[in-house]
Structure 1
């Protein structure tokens, strides 16, 4: 029952926060502290799950299965493999950081604090359920349910364009969800004809599906996940949402919920439709490389600092998807590690730039300049977060990006070379942004930018510690990921390419047959 308890804790916490008194400063403060306490309890439960997970055994562990909708063959079925566990830990680490960093957010009314933090807790519980679901019907219900809290977090608490951004986000993701629903109905029909209808991952992996049907079902799932990720050309909702949302909402959306897209590609596309995944991989790889370069180019030209961070994520998700569809153990493990590391670096970037925007009253990079003179701690945090985003060696994203590129080079040198261009462009958009905002003479009107408070430093420190620590020693996370990555590559059936030894197969070193 540990997984169910982990899912239920933040949702029950949300109900508690909603029911608490409202209106006064003391009531607002109590709601914040209660929400933060709930996230810490959830983090503790996730660490208990990690302690019980056997990394050597691999496979799905701590499983629970109960009949849910009998006539449909749907089950409440949850379990964790190394990939799901990695994203569960990412979620439970980031949400306390977001809640603590959001204490100072200016909300429309004092009465909004309870609902604001309650929606964050609901989103955490739903995200955890998505990463644990091993029944595709349960996954779909939770997948769609995550739209609700984000819609309200953007639409009720965001900036001037919040209504437009929230509706655009919802429409894009609902369209993708409808395509996935059609594919799930198709799976139900296929499994019914094969015997007893089932939505369980273990049953669907063994389902015999003819080639044309498998490809059509794959497309339904893939487009839904490509919108969520987001992958070019399905990405246009993200910059608007990130520019309108509060910093904490942007972190939850990009660092956690958008990972559902890339997670879904591995869990459902590759594991249920391995043949179709291999069939579609040439097109997906091209789209991924376009995302890498396109996102980076647009980031270089941004003046809005929030949109810049959003476009960097479009580029980074291109790397993640590239690693997934290269189908090597190294690239797959690198992609999952990239999800974790990208979550940390993007969280730090969104939070520190959000604080900058709130202090200055503007998101325009042109309105900053010389801020390091009056806010040296803020400047240092931005520098570390930015260098992490450009994958500087010694910081966590470098290892994962390097693994993705190594795996890609073994499959396609041209794609790997073009993808490497994204690393060069990343250095441009990060260093130019840092130079324009932090160095040089102090910009007119920037005098009111104050340095980070103790609470803000406390919120950002865990991300920086993990970014630096995993940059030098990523092995603990890779130990969790590697067995699951090998299982995925085995399922697809492509296999790792043989090493280039220069010796013909079937010959010994002396050339004897």
Structure 2
């Protein structure tokens, strides 16, 4: 099965599936959901089979599962795909999250008809673009996928989002297009600097180019700005909270959990590999911006009243950690950053989708319109708590491992930056626990109209009646609240399992990404700073002799 075009298959299957869903007649729009879910599950199975049969963690070559064909030879553009350990891990994460998000979005478009099938077709259309952007080994092809992702996301926010959706979609588009156009200028200039020919955009042909220091630095800046917008980093982050707040929870999950990883992935694949000297030159400034993003995102998260905006600001803080680990240039910090991209995807998915379950029950994203929900929805509260604890990097959950690796790896080379960034961990405990307290603890809500009037008390809740009789206030809700149903438990189960499994046993993922990390550091030309120690009796003896 070595000659099987696995990566192309991973794009063609969901692309055809999206076309089938979009082509359904309006009277059959109810089929859009099961077809989209089935196609996403089939794509996941293909991805697992491809990884098991055609990807080797110990391979010596940089890219595996390679596919290469001429596309536009006059301009040096090739249809060239391939993956290393970092890319395959991100692709598998995207393949897992897509069916989870589709199942979570089951009731997102209750009106049915053309809007329903359009929504699920657009969600499915994201999948081939996500695979393509991580698998491209031609710089121009990467740019095509990089920009193509904007189309379905723009319509998913602008057509299906909540309040202020059109403004949020336009802001997302303008920021992304601005960064993409700057990168396009860098892509063209890079081709001019390169060897040219029909394969002039291939990464392996552009790696190690001889160019002047100023040229390399300008090209680095062009690529880095586009990736910083996508990541997102301060100060080009402002589109993210608006987009997350206006999006459906499933769309916000894919946007922050997968699409934004293209920014940090691009920094590793292109900035570090194609411009190694410029990457070292820019590292002090980038590390400063990363540390500022860690603290800025965490501090602003504390003051948010909208839970979707709060989660978006936590992601700005977490992306700061990822960028910090990338540009600290140690194998430990880079391994932590790559693992962080995976762990953050699952943790953010759990938090966004659980918040969506709350919003579906209460109809509001405002935190101050909740309170006491753990008394009436204990399973939902438990899932929300685990997702929150993973976000604040509790030991035993996945993000702790990656955050610890980033901070400890950064400390060996940039101790001041690591010491400041660690305060982001403290602030994370503040915004997560404060959010949980405000939403889940306190007197439980009662069913009734807001304002004055008698509230109906659910059965077997004598404590509510006692509190009401004693004059203690309870938050009123307009309808009965149920705990998680079977579909929602199926959504939550793989996410919680991933947080626990990767928290206790991250070794398979680390073994997959470590060879790519070592290769990247070799290209950049940096080595780890490690203390020396006696390694045997001879060394110990010589040390003793010198003491005398």
Preserved contact between residue 78 and residue 198 of structure 2 (Cα < 8 Å): no
Distance 2:213 2:143 in 1: 24
Q: Which residue of 490, 494, 506 corresponds with 1:458?
A: 490
Secondary structure, counterpart of 1:510 in structure 2: helix
The normalised TM-score by structure 2 is 0.90
Distance 1:235 1:502 in 2: 48
Preserved contact between residue 126 and residue 142 of structure 1 (Cα < 8 Å): yes
2:165 alignment partner in structure 1: 162
- CA drift at 1:113: 1.4
TM-superposition CA deviations, 1:227-260 (whole Å, max 9, x none):
0000111100000000000000001100000000
- CA drift at 1:109: 5.0
Structure 1 residues 108, 499: CA separation in 2 closer, same or farther (over 3 Å shift)? farther
Aligned Cα root-mean-square deviation (Å): 1.7
TM-superposition CA deviations, 1:125-181 (whole Å, max 9, x none):
101000000000000000000000000000010002100000000000000000000
Distance 2:501 2:116 in 1: 34
Query: Does 1:111 pair with 2:114?
Result: yes
Unmatched 5+ residue regions in structure 1?
Answer: none
Q: Which residue of 351, 358, 362 corresponds with 2:364?
A: 362
Structure 1 residues 2, 511: CA separation in 2 closer, same or farther (over 3 Å shift)? farther
Counterparts of 1:59-70 in structure 2 under 5 Å? 59-70=62-73
- CA drift at 1:467: 0.5
Secondary structure, counterpart of 2:357 in structure 1: helix
Q: Which residue of 491, 494, 509 corresponds with 1:477?
A: 509
Q: How many residues align?
A: 507
TM-superposition CA deviations, 1:290-309 (whole Å, max 9, x none):
00000000001111100000
Distance 2:533 2:434 in 1: 43
Counterparts of 1:46-445 in structure 2 under 5 Å? 46-51=47-52, 52-58=54-60, 59-106=62-109, 109-192=112-195, 198-443=200-445, 444-445=475-476
- CA drift at 1:328: 0.8
Structure 1 residues 469, 355: CA separation in 2 closer, same or farther (over 3 Å shift)? same
Distance 2:278 2:437 in 1: 46
Distance 1:293 1:396 in 2: 21
Distance 2:378 2:107 in 1: 20
Distance 2:13 2:333 in 1: 34
- CA drift at 1:433: 0.4
Preserved contact between residue 397 and residue 471 of structure 1 (Cα < 8 Å): yes
1:32 alignment partner in structure 2: 33
Preserved contact between residue 108 and residue 157 of structure 1 (Cα < 8 Å): no
- CA drift at 1:29: 2.9
Distance 2:190 2:76 in 1: 12
TM-superposition CA deviations, 1:76-133 (whole Å, max 9, x none):
0000100000100110000000001100113565321111111111111101000000
- CA drift at 1:196: 7.4
Preserved contact between residue 371 and residue 449 of structure 1 (Cα < 8 Å): no
Structure 1 residues 375, 213: CA separation in 2 closer, same or farther (over 3 Å shift)? same
Secondary structure, counterpart of 1:411 in structure 2: coil
Secondary structure, counterpart of 1:499 in structure 2: coil
Unmatched 5+ residue regions in structure 2?
Answer: 446-474
Distance 1:316 1:50 in 2: 28
- CA drift at 1:510: 3.5
Secondary structure, counterpart of 1:298 in structure 2: helix
Preserved contact between residue 109 and residue 116 of structure 2 (Cα < 8 Å): no
Distance 2:543 2:236 in 1: 51
Q: Which residue of 473, 481, 491 corresponds with 1:449?
A: 481
Distance 2:402 2:415 in 1: 18
- CA drift at 1:442: 2.0
Counterparts of 1:482-501 in structure 2 under 5 Å? 482-499=514-531, 501=533
- CA drift at 1:2: 1.1
Preserved contact between residue 291 and residue 315 of structure 1 (Cα < 8 Å): yes
